[in-house]
Amino acid sequence: MSQQSLTRKNGPDGGASDRAARVLSAVVEGLSQGILVLDRCLRVVRCNASFRALVGLSASESLVGRYAPRLLAERAKGGCPLARGVRAHLREGSGTATLSIDDGRMIAFAVRRIAGANWIVVLDDITAASRSEAFAHRLARHDPLTDLPNRRHFLESLSRAVGQGPVALLCLDLDRFKPVNDTLGHPIGDALLRVVAERLCGAVRKGDTVARLGGDEFAVLLEGLDVAGATDGLARRLVDLIGRTYIVDGHMINIGVSVGIALAPNDAADPDTLLKHADLALYRAKGQGRGTFRFFEPGMDAALQARRRMETELRQALGQRAFELHYQAQQDLASGRINGFEALLRWRHPERGLVPPVEFIPLAEETGLIVQIGEWVLRTACKEAMRWPDDVSIAVNLSVAQFKSPRLVAVVAAALKTTGLAPRRLELEITESLLMQNDADHVGVLRALHDLGVRIAMDDFGTGYSSLSTLHSFPFDKIKIDRSFVDGLKRDPRSAAVVHAVAALGGCLGIATTAEGVETDEQLQDLIAKGCTEVQGYLIGRPLPAEEAIRLLDPIRSPTAARTQEH
Amino acid sequence: MPKTLHRLVYYSKNAIDLPKDGLEAEVRQILTAARHNNPALGVTGALMFNQGCFAQVLEGPGEGVTRTFERIQRDPRHRDVMLMAFDRVEERGFATWSMAFVGASAEGRARYGGIAAESGFDPSRLTGSRVFQLLRDLVVEEEDQPCVGA
C-alpha cells in the first residue's frame, strides 16, 4: 500500500466511517430485497426502495418514526395484501414465512432482531424462483415430448388409485412403431407419438389418466365403480383409433396398438402386481397377432413362468451339449443317389425326452439363443459331413436372428476352416421371409456367404408373399419347394401347377429344385415327370441320428439305394 | 408440405347406431361442424353419406387437410376408415364448397346405389380418383337442389 493512501485513510476524524455508512446505505437502498429496520417499539428506523415498492409506499413519504403495524394496516386498507401479511407475521415476532399474494406473487418474509434492540424485516420476491421450481417439478413428472405424465408420475397415481377403489390399468404398446423411426426418422416418429398421445387423451373420460411410460409404451388408468364395464369398450375403441391411418408431415403412416388390461382389486390389490399382470396381458395380446387387447387371466402367469423355465433350460442345454442333430437324406433324381443330407436340430430334454424343434426354436429365435445354437449346429454338421464321401453335401438352416448377427459370415468361415469341409459341400438354407425384411442388408450377407464358396438354397419356396421377386434378388443355387405343394399334388391342380412351374423355372435358370415332404411313390413319379431334380421326405428317409444316417451311404446296406435301383 | 394444394379421399363405415331421423340429424351436425371449421383452414370438399357409408373428399393446403383429417379420424361416428388418396393437386374440385353434401337427391341416391352395388361395397375396388370423380359429378348434378344442413 502506498504512503499516499495510508495518509488518506487516516485523514480527518469521522471521514472513513461516514464514507462507510454512505456505502452501506447505498448498498441497502439498492438491494432487490425489501428491507425495513425498526426500533424496539416497532417504529421505523429506515427502509429501502424495494420495501417501499413492495408495500406500495411512495419515495417522498417520510416514514421514519412511524409505528410500523399502523403503517402496514393503512397500506393493507389501501389495497396492498402483502402489507396485511407482513403485519400479521410481524406481530408473531421472530420467524420466516412464505406469503402468497392474490396477484400470483410469492414473497419470502423474514423478521429477526439485530444489534440488540432493533428488528429487521426482509421481504424477497421469489415468484420467478418458485415458478422455475414448479417447472422443474413438472418436468420431473411429465414427458416433455407429449406433455403426458411420465412413468414416475403415473406410478404415483396408480398407487394412490389402487387404495381408493376399483381401478382398470391398460398398458399399451405401439405395433410397428420402430420401422417408422427407422425409415422416416426420429422427428417424424416424435410427431407421430404426439398425435398418438392426443388421440389417447381424446378417447378417455375426463378424470382418467393417460401417461407415456417411455418409448412407444403408454398407459391408461381408469378409476371408479364402473371401470370393469367401461374398460372393454374403451380398449376396443383405442385399438380402432390408434390403428387408424396417420398423416404426419405429408407421410401416410399406419401403426397399431396392443393393449393388456388388469383390474384392481380383482386381479391384484397392489400396484406392482397390477402392473405386472397388465404387462402379462399385453404380452399375450402381442403374441396373438398384435392390434388387439387382452384382459389378464391367472393362467398367463403360469404360461410365462413355463416360458421362463424353458428359456433357462435352453441355456443349460447349450452348455450341457443336450442338443443333437438328425440328418434327413436328399436324393438326386437323375442318378438315384443320395447326394446330401439336411441337418435338423433336436433337443434331448432330461425329463421330456426328444423335444421337436417347433416347440423350442421360436423361443430360441425370440431370445437370440438361436445364434449360439446355430454356431454349434454349423460346426457339428460340417464335422459330420467330413465322414461322408466327397460328393455328399450337408444342408444347414439359417434363421433370421442369425442373419442379424454381424458374425454370421465369420462363423461360417470358421466352421469350414476348423472342420476342413470343402465350402461347396455346405448348403445354407434360408426362407423367403428373410429377404423380405431388409433386402439390401441381407442380400449383402448372402453375397458374402456365396463368396466363401458355399451354396445358398431358398427354403419353403412358395409360402411367402413375393416368391418370384425374391428369386430375382439373389442367384440361388437351389429352390426347395414347400411340402404343402407336394402334399397337394394329387388333390389340388394349383399345387401341381406351382410345382411344375417352379421346376421349369429352375430348369431355365439352371437352379436345382428339391421337392420336400415326399411320402409316396406316386408323388415321386409325379415330381420326376414335372422335372424336379431332387427329392426329400419320408419316402427317401426320415431324419436319422448321425450313426444311422451314414449307413444310408453304404451302397450295400442302404435300402434306399436298393429301392431306387429297381426303378 | 407448406402451402401446396392437396387432395385427400377416404371411405369409412357408419358407426352411428340410431334410427333414420337420428342418423340424419347426426349427418346434418357433421356437415354444420365441417362448414364451420373448414373455411379457417382453407379446406373445401364434399361428403357422401349413403347406405351406411361415408366417402369424403378434402382439399386445401396440406396442413389444413392433415388437421381436418386427423379430427375426422378421431370421430367415433364412423369406423374402418380407409384412406384412398392423399396427393398434391393443381386445382380444387370443390372450390366453392366448404363441404358439399351428396345424398340428398333421389338421383344421387340411385347413382350412388348403383356404384355401391357394382363395387359390392368393397372400398378397395374403388380408387381414390374414382370416388373423387363420382362425388364431383354428383355435386354438379345436385348443385341446384336444396342440401341437408345448407
| Residue A194 to residue A196: CA distance in whole angstroms | 5
Q: Which residues contact B64 (CB under 8 A, 6 or more apart)?
A: B41, B42, B43
Measure in Å the smallest separation between the Cα of A26 and chain B Cα atoms.
58
Report CB contact under 8 Å: B73, A241: yes
DSSP type of residue A101: P
Whether B73 and A203 lie within 8 Å, measured CB to CB: no
Q: Helices A357-367 and A298-319 sit at what angle, rounded to 10 degrees?
A: 90
B70 touches chain A (CB under 8 A): yes
Q: Give the pLDDT mean for A1-6.
A: 44
Closest residue on chain B to A252 (Cα): B86
What lies within 8 Å, CB to CB, of B19 at 6+ separation is none
Per-residue model confidence (pLDDT) at position B103: 65
User: B65: nearest CA in chain A?
Assistant: A247
Residue to test with chain B: of A247, A253, A254, A255, most B Cβ within 10 A: A247
Instruction: Give the rounded distance of the alpha carbon of B149 from its chain centre.
Output: 14
B69 touches chain A (CB under 8 A): yes
For residues A456 and A566, what is the distance between their CA atoms, to the nearest angstrom?
32
What gap in Å lies between CA B139 and CA B28, rounded to an integer?
17
Q: Where are the beta strands (DSSP E) in B18-108?
A: 44-50, 53-61, 78-88, 100-102
List, for residues A274-292, the tens digit of each pLDDT value.
999 999 999 999 888 788 9
Pairwise CB contact (< 8 Å): B66 & A203: no
Using CA atoms, how far residue A212 sits from A96, A172, A273, A291, in Å, is: 40, 9, 19, 18
User: Is B70's CB within 8 Å of A249's CB?
Assistant: no
Using a CB cutoff of 8 Å and minimum separation of 24, what contacts does A410-418 make? A411/A374, A411/A375, A411/A378, A412/A378, A412/A449, A412/A452, A412/A454, A413/A452, A415/A375, A415/A378, A415/A379, A415/A382, A416/A382, A416/A452, A416/A454, A418/A379
Of A406, A463, A461, A403, the C-alpha closest to A434 is A403
Mean pLDDT score across all residues of chain A: 87
Contact call for B83 and A195, based on CB within 8 A: no
The mean pLDDT of A161-175, rounded to a whole number, is: 93
H or E element at residue A219: strand A217-223
Other Cβ atoms within 10 Å of A542 Cβ, number: 13
Omega within 30 of 0 (cis) for the link into A265: yes
pLDDT category, B148, cuts 50, 70, 90? very low
Going from the C-alpha of A250 to that of each of A216, B65, B90, the distances in angstroms are 21, 10, 16
CATH assignment, B5-142? 3.30.70.100
Name every chain B residue with its beta carbon within 8 A of the beta carbon of A241.
Answer: 73-74
Confidence of residue A13 (pLDDT cuts 50, 70, 90): low
Name which of B62, B65, B83 is nearest A245 (Cβ-Cβ): B83
CATH of domain A16-129: 3.30.450.20
All three cell numbers of A368, joined, read 437370440
CA distance A13 to A20: 13
Q: Which residue has the higher pLDDT, A290 or A360?
A: A360
Predicted pLDDT at A366:
81
B1 touches chain A (CB under 8 A): yes
Specify the DSSP element, H or E, that contains A430.
strand A426-431
Q: Which of A58-62, A382-386, A493-497 has the highest mean pLDDT?
A: A382-386
Q: Is the pLDDT of residue A6 over 50?
A: no
* Alpha helical stretches, state H, A110-245: 127-141, 151-162, 177-184, 186-203, 227-242
Q: What integer pLDDT is reported at residue A563 of this predicted model?
A: 47
Number of Cβ pairs < 8 A linking chain A and chain B: 31
Give yes or no for residue A464 having a pLDDT over 70.
Answer: no
Does ipTM top 0.85? no
Among the partner residues A241, A247, A250, nearest to B74 by beta-carbon distance: A241
CATH of A142-296, one of 3.30.70.270, 3.40.190.10, 3.40.50.300, 1.10.268.10: 3.30.70.270
Residue A205 DSSP code: P
Q: Å from B97 to nearest chain A CA?
A: 23
pLDDT tens digits, B60-108: 999 999 999 999 999 888 888 888 889 999 988 888 777 877 764 444 4
More confident residue, A425 or A304: A425
> Helices A177-184 and A186-203 sit at what angle, rounded to 10 degrees?
140
Q: Which pLDDT score is estimated for B149?
A: 41
Q: Chain A neighbours among B 32-61 (CB < 8 Å)? A: none
CA distance A247 to A253: 6
Is there a contact between B62 and A245 if contact means CB atoms under 8 Å apart? no
3-state secondary structure at position A503: helix
Is the CB of residue B55 less than 8 Å from the CB of residue B27?
no
Cβ–Cβ below 8 Å for B66 and A244? no
Of 3.20.20.450, 3.30.420.40, 2.60.40.10, 3.30.160.20, the CATH number of A320-566 is: 3.20.20.450
The C-alpha atoms of residue A560 and residue A2 are separated, in whole angstroms, by 117
Domain residue spans in chain A?
A: 16-129, 142-296, 320-566
H or E segment and range at residue A375: helix A369-385
Higher pLDDT, A411 or B124: A411
Minimum CA–CA partner of A248 in chain B? B66
Report the C-alpha gap between A39 and A355 in whole angstroms.
94
In the chain, the amino acid numbered A417 is K
A252 contacts B86? CB cut-off 8 A: yes
Of A202, A203, A249, the CB nearest to B1: A249
